[in-house]
Amino acid sequence: MDSHNLGMRSGFAAWLCAALVAAAPVELLPDGGFDGPLSDTGLPVGAGTFAAKDASVKASIVPDGRTGKALLVEGQGAHAGVGLNRVPIQPRQQVALRGWLKVEGSAGTRAVVKLDYLRADGSWLAMSPAEPVTPKQIGWQLVALTDVPDTVAEAALVCAVVAVEGGGKAWFDDLEMVSHPLEPGLPNLLQNGDFESVTAGQPRGFGLSWKPREAPVVLASSDQDPRNGWYCLRLAGNVNYAVAYGPAVLAVPGRHYVLKGFCRTSKGRCRIKFDYTRDGTFLGQTVSPPVSGMEWQEQTVRSEVERFPEATRIAAAVVIEGDAEAWLDDLMLTFE
């Protein structure tokens, strides 16, 4: 799986590239690597533990990190962890949080990296979690998420939080949290179309439509020169064809959907497309012209919902054919 190859080094360069079209990102977590000086509590400056009612927590900096030291959280009870910082929410900013974690414990143990939203008085309001990691996932796992804090009503502060649920031990390391101005434009109907949400090395919400028998197909988050942010999607294989699709949305009759996305390939060809479905059954598709070459190229597909009047869902998808390796970023689903 690609997740173990995903490094952090190229990430900042990617944000700098993005900065050519938008303002530079702001670093919001001073010591997400847990290798810096500690306060009297034994934790990085600004960090503090919390525990749900009837739960308890012990947090410490330990030597066996992914790089140098790590934060170890040992929890008992439903929910306990460490808030790492508290940052005032700025209007029209997107916040991205990523990090590595591994977890040990019983089958019900889960470890979470998340953003918590607090009122101005510090009371808890809401959260935006990455997909939890369980003890079944062996070794360090990469997770990443993004959110737009000023869309959370009443929220004044945003906080990077690591937590253990159900009792157990979890190690956290190499956390990064940045904010950058939200790009103007229409809202994206496609969740995780920027591929910045990562679950154990996989782009959250995206999956293969089928697993070809003749050869393995790789669908993974990739930090190889994303067009924007930290990550893009990588789809590779040597098969007749392979399709990665995202979360489907309602196919509203009369609505004209537009899918835009950026693709590049090291070999073979790649297209973006719409799939039309009803109750999970494939009815048809509309595909873009093929893209090949290492430069990011924009593609656009316009829906043909009227050709499939029985369709109830429409899904954005990416397809490769033959011996191909492709990267996708900034998939945008809107309607006209």
Does 31 interact with Ca ion (rule: CB under 5 A)?
A: no
**What's the closest the beta carbon of residue 21 comes to Ca ion, in angstroms?**
13
Stretch that binds Ca ion, among 64-72, 154-162, 234-242, 265-273 (CB under 5 A): 64-72
Residues 201-230 that bind Ca ion (CB under 5 A): 226, 228-229
Should residue 33 be labelled a site residue for Ca ion when binding is judged by CB under 5 A? yes
b/e for 176-198, b at 16 or more Cβ within 10 A?
bbbbbeeeeeeeebbebbbbbbb
Q: Which of 61, 161, 141 is nearest to 100 (CA)?
A: 141
Q: Does 194 bind Ca ion (CB under 5 A)?
A: yes
Q: Out of 195, 206, 245, 327, which residue is the one contacting Ca ion (CB under 5 A)? A: 195
Q: How far is the CB of 174 from Ca ion (least distance, A)?
A: 6
Residues 6+ apart with CB under 8 A from 34: 44, 61, 65, 68, 69, 70, 71, 172, 173
The secondary structure of residue 336, as a DSSP letter, is -
State whether the Cα torsion 78-84-88-89 is positive or negative.
negative
| 68 counts as binding Ca ion under rule CB under 5 A | yes
How many beta carbons lie within 10 A of that of residue 153, not counting itself? Answer: 8
Residue 75 is a binding residue for Ca ion (CB under 5 A)? no
- Nearest residue (CB) to Ca ion, 257 versus 262: 262
What residue number has its CB nearest to Ca ion?
229
Size of the site for Ca ion (CB under 5 A): 14
Is 329 one of the binding residues for Ca ion (CB under 5 A)? yes
Residues 279-318 that bind Ca ion (CB under 5 A): none
Q: Does 147 bind Ca ion (CB under 5 A)?
A: no
Q: Is 297 exposed, middle or buried (0-12, 13-18, 19+ CB in 10 A)?
A: middle
**Amino acid identity for residue 21 in this structure:** V
Where along the sequence are the contacts to Ca ion (CB under 5 A)? 33-35, 65, 67-69, 173, 194-195, 226, 228-229, 329
